[in-house]
Chains A and B, each alone.
Chain A
Amino acid sequence: MNSPTTFTPVGQDELDWLGTDPVPTRPYYDPEWFELEREAVFRRSWQQIGHVCELPENGSFIRRELEVLGASLLITRGKDGEVRAFHNVCTHRGTILVDEEAGKRSTFSCPYHMWTFGLDGGLISAPDFEAFHVTKAECALPQVACEVVGGLIFVHFGKPESSLREWLGPYANKLEMMPVARATTFSEYVYDINANWKLTYDNFQENYHLRFIHPSAAGPVTSPDNPFAYPTAYDFHGPHRSQRIWTKPDMDPPTGVQAMAFQRGAVCAMSDGILGTETAKDYLGLFPNFFLFGSPMQHFSHTVYPIAADKSRGVIRLYWIGEDETPSERFAREYFMATARDVHTEDRAVIERGHKGLASGALEYLHFQTQESLCRHLFNMVSERVEAYRAEKEGVPA
């Protein structure tokens, strides 16, 4: 019997522009380098921090902590329906304004001296305000640039050089086409990891490890002509990158409870109109720390939040359209969430081992092969920004 396809991996010639040199290890564990990344990468990039479904009504709010910039953010949906982000800091004397993680309010009052702010960040009232030497207009909450594409909320702590949509380029349209743009709820799990954010992130942008670290999940998706389940294509736009996932054409059908979950889940995905979409095999990596996989059945995002040079936090969300409409849908969603969690569990353990080894200083360089080019691209993008920032600080050209 003939093999249904012959897989051809992406050739090195397509990726030569990224370089082939060994990559220095120090940026993956050095605290000094991490300090530079805070400013060069995270203060100067759009960062994904939430989804509009978390702000379902005018007056809805969420609080988000971004440890990499030491920031607490208050994100609101105003009376006008607009999503805005502010530093969650009372403008009187800097007290953190809101403690709750999420909720619905029309005003926010600081517990310290009862300064009260509106959903648009304006100072509405403050006791004995006449005794101050400033106007209310000057006391609005400090606003942070905030834009939405595909339902995903992004913030920028600096002065953005371009709009979010321009920055994302063609990936903005892809996001708009994906189920996330229509999502109304999600499943979420979170992990803390003793590893650098880039090392953590890199794990999720190469398939080389799949058959070794995920023997149960990867077995059915590999074949003799693609034993590592390498993707069919890579794509780059500015600091962002993506891969197109390969699927085994003659994959054995699932059995047992897994088969039931897929069968019931497929019915729901079909009724949501998200089966067979053009973006179903796209796996986007948006700079600096966000992934989104287009799969309609397991449509997950993964954000790797840096905390310190050797600490990160991963937040994984499976986005869904509509609440659980039927018990079958509830079953399928819980199963898919648990399946993804199993796979990410296996990743987490091996990433920590990687960090420990690199942080020992035993190696000066690490090595990326052709099919780890997305990792190399992230290194190049971070490195360019850190070097430019360092040169800027030192007043010399990069």
Chain B
Amino acid sequence: MKTKIYSNAKDACADITSGSSIMSGGFGLCGIAENCIDAIANLDIKDLTVISNNIGNSGRGLVKILIQNKISKAFCSYVGGNPDLEKQMFDGSVQVELVPQGTFSERIRAAGLGIRAFYTPTGYGTLVAEGKEVKEFDKPCILETALHADFAIIKAQKGDKYGNLWFKETARNFSPLMAMAAKTTIVEVEELVELGDIPAEDIHLPGIFVQRIFQGSNYKNDIEFLKVEEE
């Protein structure tokens, strides 16, 4: 029987090639696929299209791949906190499409769920609306299309061999949406568990959307801004 289980990130990411489009889960550095990012950093490839809310942050995460000049196009919603991306955006080495975050997540969700396009008021009257169809509902809305990718690299707290996933706290963010939208979804988990260990009603993403899964290792789980209650 064919298995979805891979032994490590290197094997799971081996067929990512130059020109591939990759969705990468995580909000800032929270919930990013650390092992997959490192594996891609070790591949001799270029001209990647990367779809990720932040394209890394504070010199970490996807910034590892960005500063290797492997990314030629990026879709994201936020550049703040990522000076490397801002620099490559201004010098033209990366073509950046800034997408409002709600439209970003919905375009990805739409791709995974078979919706070709949708109308949203977000971005009407701004640079985001340029060249897009406008239609008047209760208020003017713009037409946005689904956003697909060849690969998604996803990190979950727990997953089983079918690919059922459970995310911890706010680490869920874009990950289940991206897992649905990509042709090949690669998942790394902190805990690879047995079928049935995650109660069926607690599964955040059913395994039907997952093609590959492996037990991750050496997680840093970096905190960007540590704020604690003053005692």
A binds B: no
